[in-house]
Amino acid sequence: MSTLPAIAFKDPAILLCGDVDYSLYDQFREKLDAAPKSGLVVVELTTLGGDPEVARMIGEDVVFHSEVEPERRFVFLGKAAVYSAGATLMSFFARENRYLTRGTRLMIHERKMDKCLTVSGPLTSTLAPVKALLHEIEHSILIQNEGFENLIAGSSVTMDELLKRAPSNWYIEANEALELGLVQGVI
């Protein structure tokens, strides 16, 4: 698929800016309903991050609509900052449908957790909450790594490299993302 010219991004149908949260999801759904029913549908995003599960919800909507409405081509345009949950959302777009504006930074990191587990009571009753937290961590890692695999598919980035860099917040400038094959173009 050839690289789209800058003019293709002049009037994005779905313009999103801010934290990836339920409010942003509501905005996305409203704009999706109003978006053209055929042709290019540009989803422009600027975000410092947010809820990765909301990013996955938006991404799953994009995948679903791409599959059931082949007359539409959904294209991602990251602008200025595409951090954390923004990179998660970007991973739902095929590499040939990912673009960044000049100077945009991607930031990729591991999911974070902030929980306290208090173990108190008879030993047999303490196993369930410990196992539940362990299962939550294990499945969160699986979900995170599925997103990482989608993000690097077709690029020169290996999973080992991503897993090595993600714990300390990996910042990638737009032209570097292009060189690595994470995006189709920089406009």
User: Looking at beta carbons, which pairs linking 120-128 to residues 24 or more positions away fall under 8 Å?
Assistant: none
Specify the pairing of strand 14-17 against strand 105-108: unpaired
Reported as a single tens digit per residue, the pLDDT across 83-110 is: 999 999 999 999 999 999 999 999 999 9
Question: Given this model, what pLDDT does residue 46 score?
Answer: 98
Cβ contacts of 6 within 8 Å, gap of 6 or more = 187
Cβ atoms of 28 and 34 closer than 8 Å: no
Cα 187 to its chain centre, rounded Å, is 20
51 burial (CB, 10 Å; 0-12 / 13-18 / 19+) is middle
Distance from C-alpha of 21 to C-alpha of 26, rounded to nearest angstrom: 9
Q: Which amino acid is at 181?
A: G
Cβ atoms of 182 and 151 closer than 8 Å: yes
Average the pLDDT over 73-86 and give the result. Answer: 98
Cβ atoms of 63 and 89 closer than 8 Å: no
Distance from C-alpha of 64 to C-alpha of 59, rounded to nearest angstrom: 9
Reported as a single tens digit per residue, the pLDDT across 103-162 is: 999 999 999 999 999 999 999 999 999 999 999 999 999 999 999 999 999 999 999 999
Nearest to 95 by CA among 171, 155, 160, 28: 155
Percent over 70 (pLDDT), the chain:
100
The span from the first CA to the last CA of the chain, in angstroms, equals 16
- Residue 176 in this model has a pLDDT that exceeds 90: yes
- Residue 1 in this model has a pLDDT that exceeds 90: no
Mean confidence (pLDDT) of the chain: 97
Count Cβ neighbours within 10 Å for each residue of 129-157 and write b for 16 or more, e otherwise: eeeeeeeeeeebeeebbebbebbbeeeeb
164 burial (CB, 10 Å; 0-12 / 13-18 / 19+) is exposed
Tokens of 99: 């673009």
The CATH code of domain 6-186 reads 3.90.226.10
